[in-house]
Structure 1
Amino acid sequence: MSETMKGLKRTKYCGQFTAEDIGKEVTVAGWVQKTRDLGNLVFIDLRDRSGIVQLAFDDGTDREVFEKAAGARAEFVLMAKGEVRRRESVNKEIPTGEVEVYVSDLRVLAKSQTPPFEITDQTNVKEELRLKYRYLDLRRGEMQQSIILRHKIAKVARDYFDENGFLEIETPVLIKSTPEGARDYLVPSRVHPGSFYALPQSPQLYKQLLMLSGYDRYMQIARCFRDEDLRADRQPEFTQIDLEMSFVEEEDVMSVNEGFIVRVFKEVLGVDVSAPFLRMPYEEAMNRFGSDKPDTRFGLELTDLSDLLENCEFKVFKGALETGSVRAINVKGAAHQLSRKEIDKLTDFVKTYRAKGLAFTRITEEAESSSYEKFLSQEEKEAIRQRMDAQVGDVILVVADPSNQVVYDSLGALRVELAGRLGLIKKGTYNFLWVTQFPLFEYSEEEERFVAKHHPFTCPALEDLDRIESDPAGCHARAYDMVLNGCEVGGGSIRINTPDLQERMFRALGLDEATANERFGFLLEAFKYGAPPHGGMAYGLDRLVMLMLEKDSIRDVIAFPKVQNASELMSQCPAQVDEKSLKDLSIKIDIQE
């Protein structure tokens, strides 16, 4: 039977002991990391969220205490009282390595079965097993440091925005479904049979209404929900650091948020970030990097070859140039690393981004090889090499497609893939920039209409106000995304603040007056009562933590994440509910095969 604390009170966390504590009587508590039984000596590494301290037992220890120590196993929960003394053999690998606690009283507060995997930082255990036993995985120091750092970022956010005049205001979690973007998670109402709430994809409309209500500067660490396919940096439920400001333009919002980033990196990581950040127009980002969230830690920039090939007879390039483009990257000095076999693998890689193939020129001291130069004139060949600054040791990789988007997507992903394979990315580098001047709309082939690039409440660029309906493809948005190392860490815009402009925006998106009023009538009505110019943005808190810690997956910084199919392996949700619960909600299940 497990013992109780019996009045013992912890005096210090395990990882906080130093040589200054020698001679003090202390009480510690935690989990057994490891027991070493040497016969007449027993040592226990006791672990809590702060680290590890060694407990020591010998011939002078009370016999009952000694036997309990010898019987302790991994993950037993112990409380120990004793004197801090200097260790005979110092362990320089841990902060407490100079000292140990010579134990006089030991309590076994809870025993543990042998865990399904060892609780250590460096683990090769499959992620599925870690997530099934997430409460054990969260005991690992690496996981605990991620969760603690997440807490620190949230605290800095509250402090910083409070100091800058922001008010933390909660917005509802049960809201009206206003589908325009990702799918909503729906919650049935028992009181209103057949009606549903939605879980918020963001607090967008409510924070805009708070500006209309005169609160001027709002912030919230908000839970958000989106029923969409998962990726390494995306979850169905997530946390935003959400902001809105009145009487501002783009630079006002960007400036206050640069201040936040500088503060959070300094206080949490001890890293100095320089502001102001680079501003890069959307079109430049796409042309140079093939992405609206460019990773600028390395080169491998895209080069447009289209004008050099206007009269080209090579049908692959000629066909692409009718509606698209031919672009390339030069992988400098990589000819010996990128063999023909490796280039074939890269060809398969770009095909996942809808590219039909990958043309190449590979130049070594011994020979030159190319999949396309034999189809070009000597002038075209020389012009391409000159523009690409091609030299011995280089590999030119080319994508041609009738769709510019396919060219951008495939080459943009390829440059990142190559940077990883070739070790071009230096760890501990944090490159921030703002991407601005986004298109206001993008055409959805699936829906056969224009949809909002950001969201339908984004204000058009002032010079485009007259052509929202007549030329939606040519309109730009007063939107801005903060990008860090090739990931969008936050984004926002200046908002529409008049009912007539908002109605025009809805019409451009194909929403008739009746539909717009049904979904957003409360917003249009509110705008009739004087809404100030306003704008804001939101950070993905989980994504920010992931990037600051240079993790590969957002699941590594969330306590209880979902997996690829939006389920949680530990609790086995989502799950079916009983008939009575469904009946109370007036719901009948009809699953389509």
Structure 2
Amino acid sequence: MADTMNGLKRTNYCTELTIDNIGKEVVVAGWVQKIRNLGNLLFIDLRDRSGILQLAFDDATAREVFEKAETLRGEYVIMAKGVVRKREAINKDIKTGDIEIFVVDLRILGKAQTPPFEITDTTNVKEELRLKYRYLDLRRSEMQRAIQMRHKIVKVARDYYDEHNFLEIETPILIKSTPEGARDYLVPSRLHEGKFYALPQSPQLYKQLLMLSGFDRYLQIARCFRDEDLRADRQPEFTQIDLEMSFADEEDIMCTNEGFIKRVMKDALGVDIETPFRRISYAEAMNRYGSDKPDTRFGLELIDLSDILKNTEFKVFAGAIAGGGSVRAINVKDGAHHLSRKEIDKLTDFVKTYKAKGLAYTRLTEDSETSSFEKFLNEEEKNAIRERMGAKKGDVLLVVADADNNVVYDSLGALRCEMADRLGLIKEGTFDLLWVTDFPLFEYSEEENRYVAKHHPFTMPKVEDIDMVEKDPAHCLARAYDMVMNGCEVGGGSVRINDPELQERMFKALGFTMEDAREKFGFLIDAYKYGAPPHCGMAFGLDRLVMLMLEKDSIRDVIAFPKVQNASEPMSQCPNTVEDKSLRELHIKIDASAQPETK
């Protein structure tokens, strides 16, 4: 039978204690990390959420306490009372390495079986096992730090935005399903047969209504849900630091949110970030980096060769340009030492995953020159390409051509990041922040055969483009902005439409009849009739922000109980079946003959 605390209360977390506490009687509690039994000496590494502290037992320890300590095993939950003293053998690897607790009273609060993996940061087991036993994985100091960092960022957000007159207001979780964006998670209604709620993909409509309600500045740590394919930085349920401002424009919201990032980086990481952040347009980001969330911590910028090759006789390049696309390249400086012909073949397979048809190259070594395409060019074209690309001995030129510029951008944008990773071009501990502005207002959906909103239907066009909303949607720009950190979109937003007539034109441009628009957004349309202030907003992806600040590769590493790629949770084994009684109450019948959709 485990001992109880029996009136004993913890006085300190492990790493709160320092040499200034020597001689003080304290009570600490936690899990047994490590045991070292040297016969007449016994040392226990005690772990709590703050870190490690050594407990000491020796000849001066009461016999019954020493014997109880000998029964301890890894992950036992214990509480120890004792006196802080200086360690004889200092351990510089831990915060409390110069002190220990001489234990006078020991309580075993919970025994433990041998865990399925070692509870250390160096544990080398598959992620599936760690997620199955997530409650054990979360004991590791690396995971504890991530969750504590998450808490700290949220606290800074609440404090910072409160100082700037934002009110934290909750919006509903059960809402009406609306079009545009990712697939909704639907919740069947018991009381309204055949009808469904949706879980919010964001609080977008409600936060705009709060501006119409006169609350001026809104903040919410908002839970959001999107039924979409997952990846390393995407989850079906996630958290946003969500905000909206009235009587404000882009400058106001960008300045306010730069201030938040500066504060949170300083308070949570001790890192000073320079403001204001630099700004580049969407067009510049795509042309230089092949991405609307460019990582500019390294070079390898895209170089457009289309004007040089517009009259070339090489059909691969000529056809791409004639089809409305382009020929672009990156110069991997000194890349010949790293990129053999075999490696370039692998890179060809890499860009094909982004729909590129191939990867042309020129490899310049000290002894030779090899190229997959230069033999098809005349001397003038060849020399012009090398001059524009600043090609020198040791360089490798990598070229993609396609009639669809998006293919060129996507493949080369991904390739430059892949090469930066392979060549170690990114210095750890650096934080690169910028704004991307002037996004397209619309993008064409081949699937729906119409223009859809690049962000959402409530985004304000640039003033000079308002007259083109219906006439020329392909060339309309939005008053939208994304904050990018280290090549990831960490937050984004836009100025909202507050003119009912312009909102009606926007719906028409998106292919909605007014009947459709009223069916989907009637409550918002009606609200605009009663006086809507100019307003704009933004949302930070909290999970992604924590991931980037801690330099993790996946948001699963900063979420307490994440889902895996198929949107299931290995620990609790959800989603799962429910009782027939529950289905009947919801007016649902499972069709056993229906085949599930495969992805």
Query: Structures share a fold, TM > 0.5?
Result: yes
Distance 2:62 2:4 in 1: 19
CA distance in 2: counterparts of 1:47 and 1:310, whole angstroms: 67
* Per-residue CA distance 1:161-185 (angstroms, 9 max, x = gap): 0001111111111111112110111
Amino acid at match of 1:565: N
- The offset of 1:374, in angstroms, is 0.4
Consecutive unaligned residues in structure 1, runs of 5 or more: none
Aligned-residue offset at 1:498? 1.9
CA displacement 1:179-237 (0-9 Å, x = unmatched): 21101111111111111111110000000000001111111110000011111011000
- Counterpart of 1:331, as a letter, is V
Q: Distance in 2 between matches of 1:391 and 1:346?
A: 21
Of residues 283-292 and 121-130 in structure 1, the stretch that sits farther from structure 2 once superposed is 121-130
**Paired residue for 2:480?**
479
Aligned to 1:95: 95
Q: 1:541 & 1:170 partners in 2: Cα distance?
A: 17
Equivalent position of 1:17 in the other structure? 17
3-state DSSP of counterpart to 2:240: strand
Q: Does residue 242 in structure 1 map to residue 251 in structure 2?
A: no
Query: What does residue 341 of structure 1 align with?
Result: 342
Q: Please report how far the alpha carbon of residue 368 of structure 1 lies from its aligned counterpart in structure 2 after TM superposition.
A: 0.6
Match of 2:230 in 1: 230
Deviation of 1:527 (Å) = 0.3
- Within 2, Cα distance between the matches of 1:28 and 1:255? 45
Answer yes or no: is 1:433 the counterpart of 2:434. yes
Corresponding position of 1:60: 60
Q: Kindly provide the CA deviation profile for residues 413-464 of structure 1, in whole angstroms up to 9, marking residues without a partner as x.
A: 0000000000000011111110000000001111111111001110111111
Deviation string 1:383-405 (CA, Å, 9 cap, x unpaired) is: 00000010111110000011000
Q: Secondary structure at the match of 1:544?
A: helix
Deviations 1:493-538 (A, max 9, x none): 0001122211111111111111111110000000000000100100
Q: Residue type matched to 1:522 in 2?
A: F
Cα distance in 1 for partners of 2:197, 2:310 equals 56
> Is residue 163 from structure 1 mapped to residue 143 from structure 2 by the alignment?
no
Q: CA deviation at 1:340?
A: 0.8
2:359 matches 1:325: no
Partners of 2:577 and 2:514 lie apart in 1 by: 39
Stretch deviating more after TM superposition (505-514 or 102-111): 505-514
Q: CA deviation at 1:104?
A: 0.8
Cα distance in 1 for residues equivalent to 2:267 and 2:15: 21
Q: Distance in 2 between matches of 1:570 and 1:504?
A: 49
Task: Write out per-residue CA displacement over residues 5-40 of structure 1, whole angstroms, 9 at most, x where no aligned residue.
Answer: 011011111122211111111111000001111122
2:502 is the counterpart of 1:501: yes
1:399 corresponds to which residue?
400
Residue in 2 aligned with 1:8? 8
What residue number does 1:514 align with? 515
Q: Distance in 1 between matches of 2:122 and 2:255?
A: 40
TM (norm. structure 1) is 0.99
Q: Which runs of 4+ in 1 moved over 6 A?
A: none
- Please tell me the residue identity of whatever aligns with 1:35: I
1:245-280: CA deviations, max 9, x gaps? 011111111010011111110111110101111110
Answer yes or no: is 1:581 the counterpart of 2:597: no
State the AA in 1 paired with 2:180: E
SS of match in other structure, 2:292 = coil
Deviation at 1:334, TM superposition (A): 1.4
Aligned match of 1:176: 176
Per-residue CA shift, 1:528-553, capped at 9, x if unaligned? Answer: 00000100100000100000000000
Give the superposition deviation at 1:41. Answer: 1.4
Structure 2 Cα separation of the partners of residues 201 and 73 of structure 1: 46
Structure 2, unaligned stretches of length 5 or more? none
**AA partner of residue 295 (structure 1):** D
SS in 1 for 2:456: coil
Cα offsets for 1:460-503 (capped at 9, x unmatched): 11111111111111111010000011000000000011222111
Counterpart secondary structure, 2:337: coil
Structure-2 residue corresponding to 1:561 = 562
Q: For residue 335 of structure 1, give the secondary structure of its aligned residue in structure 2.
A: helix
One-letter amino acid of the counterpart of residue 553, structure 2: D
Aligned to 1:383: 384
Bigger drift between 419-428 and 65-74 goes to 65-74
Letter in 1 for 2:515: A
- Distance of 1:285 and 1:387 partners within structure 2: 19
Q: CA–CA distance in 2 between the matches of 1:590 and 1:68? A: 59
Instruction: Measure, in 2, the Cα distance between the counterparts of 1:358 and 1:180.
Output: 35
Describe the superposition over 1:131-171 as per-residue Cα deviations: whole angstroms up to 9, x where unpaired: 00000000000000000011000000000000011111111
AA aligned opposite 1:342: E
Give the corresponding residue for 1:141.
141
Tell me the distance in 2 between the aligned counterparts of 1:386 and 1:452: 40
Task: Determine the C-alpha separation between the residues in 1 that align with 2:284 and 2:159.
Answer: 36
Give the aligned partner of residue 85 of structure 1. 85
Structure 1 residue 71 displacement after superposition? 1.0
**In structure 2, distance between residues paired with 1:142 and 1:331:** 35
* 1:60 CA drift (Å): 2.2
2:316 paired residue number:
316
SS of the equivalent of 1:242 reads strand
SS of the aligned residue for 1:476 comes to coil
* Match of residue 199 from structure 1: 199
The one-letter code of the counterpart of 1:15 is T
Partner amino acid, structure 1, of 2:585: D
Letter in 2 for 1:399: V
How does 1:243-282 map onto structure 2 within 5 Å? 243-282=243-282
Q: Is the deviation greater in 180-189 or in 417-426?
A: 180-189
Q: Distance in 2 between matches of 1:203 and 1:462?
A: 26
Q: Specify the SS of the correspondent of 1:283.
A: helix
CA distance, structure 2, for counterparts of residue 467 and residue 59 of structure 1: 87
Q: Give CA-to-partner distance per residue, 1:91-141, whole Å, 9 cap, x none.
A: 111111111111111000000000000000122110000000000000000
Verify: 1:547 aligned to 2:548, yes or no.
yes
Paired with 1:340 and 1:206, the residues of 2 have a C-alpha distance of: 56
SS in 1 for 2:103: strand
Q: TM-score, normalised by structure 2?
A: 0.98
Identity, % of aligned positions? 75
C-alpha distance in 2 between matches for 1:183 and 1:310: 42
Distance 1:56 1:284 in 2: 62
Give RMSD over aligned pairs: 0.8
1:189 aligned to 2:189?
A: yes
Number of the residue aligned with 1:111 = 111
- Paired residues, number: 593
Letter paired with 1:122: T
**SS of 2:336's equivalent?**
coil
Separation of aligned partners in 2, 1:87 and 1:261: 41
Amino acid at match of 2:541: G
The CA deviation at 1:59 is 2.3
